[in-house]
Amino acid sequence: MYAIAQDVFPIFILILFGWGLVKTRILNADIGDGLGEFVFKVAVPVLLFRTISQADFHGASPFRLWIAYFSGVAITWAVGHLLATRLFGRDARVGVLAGVSSAFANNIFIGLPLVERTVGSDGIVAVSILLAVHLPLMMVIGTVLMERAEHKVNGGESRGLVNVLRQVGTNLMRNPLVIGLAAGLVLHVSGLALPRVLASVVDQITAMAAPAALISLGMALNKYGIHGNVGIATVISALKLLLMPACVWLACRVLGLSADWTAALVLTSSVPTGINAWLIANRFGVGHGLAASAISLSTAVGVLSVTLWAWMLQ
């Protein structure tokens, strides 16, 4: 357990470090926004590009990987929605947001660094394959369900699935993560290699991805905090940190995924709620406090649950 903690704790210490930089006013929160933008638009896409371009897939199909992960997403999302609407008596919109917050893992800012540190290169390949579909699928489902819930609660006209898909598809064509993955796949299929000088630059940018992501996340957490909703936020955090990785682990075992891919999927599913839950709440103007509380609370206690899952998977 001590050896596992030595791998996990530095990840959350960097998050705490970033939080402290803003809290003590050593750095302005706007700097964290800029650093986060660098991570999302440059560092992580370059990491994904290098990973996919050099990956050895061993002839494995991505479909079992996707099924294993998203079966955990579906179960956890449904449980979160039902608990929010039936147990806590919230409306359908908050139910959707509770489902999103329970099942939307922070794969970019925490999952990738965690898997890189604890599993290694094969784990990064698995997470990269997951990221190829994770963001678009989760955002499409979240947006469609939220629009239907909005229509149910307040009336009005829903945009419909086709319009949502068109908007998300347009956004994905400009998404740096998708561009990085696609460019890496092109290089992988072509069998070409980057010139030595360019490869060195790529390696240096890649090395910045994990620490920059964690520090920028910590700086961003100053915006959230616990804004009421402690009871429901605690339940959502428990679903995110415990139920979802348990479901993913079971699905991986049933589908016969390798040990490294299983560890990668379980660990990235066990990380705290992603900031995307806040973005959806902000987009529809509902549940800001719940999303903020779920993000902050799951991040605060995530160090313990992630350490537990890493220990169980060793």
The pLDDT tens digits for 217-234 are: 999 888 777 766 789 999
- State yes or no: pLDDT of 169 exceeds 60: yes
Q: Which pLDDT value is given to residue 224? A: 75
Confidence band, pLDDT 50/70/90 cuts, at residue 4: confident
Q: Measured between alpha carbons, how far is 50 from 202 in angstroms, rounded to an integer? A: 7
Least confident among 102-111, 217-226, 301-310? 217-226
Neighbours of 36 (CB within 10 A): 21
Chain-centroid distance, C-alpha 295: 11
Q: Measured between alpha carbons, how far is 286 from 266 in angstroms, rounded to an integer? A: 30
Cα dist from 238 to 91, 182, 242, 246, whole Å: 21, 35, 6, 11
- State yes or no: pLDDT of 202 exceeds 80: yes
Q: Measured between alpha carbons, how far is 95 from 142 in angstroms, rounded to an integer? A: 11
Which tens digit of pLDDT belongs to each residue from 118-163?
A: 998 889 999 989 988 888 788 888 888 888 888 777 765 656 666 7
Q: Which pLDDT value is given to residue 159? A: 60
Confidence band, pLDDT 50/70/90 cuts, at residue 23: very high
Q: Which pLDDT value is given to residue 156? A: 57
Burial of 204 (0-12, 13-18, 19+ CB in 10 A): exposed
Greater confidence (200 vs 57) lies with 200
DSSP state of 223: G
- State yes or no: pLDDT of 44 exceeds 60: yes
Q: What is the mean pLDDT of residues 267-296?
A: 86
Q: Which pLDDT value is given to residue 132? A: 82
Q: What is the mean pLDDT of residues 17-41?
A: 92
Query: Which residues contact residue 148 at a Cβ distance below 8 angstroms, ignoring those fewer than 6 apart?
Result: 92, 158
Q: Measured between alpha carbons, how far is 100 from 278 in angstroms, rounded to an integer? A: 10
Greater confidence (6 vs 22) lies with 22
Here the tokens at position 160 are 């419909």
Q: Which pLDDT value is given to residue 228? A: 67
Q: Which pLDDT value is given to residue 171? A: 67
Average pLDDT in the chain: 88
**Quick one: what percent of the chain has pLDDT higher than 70?**
92
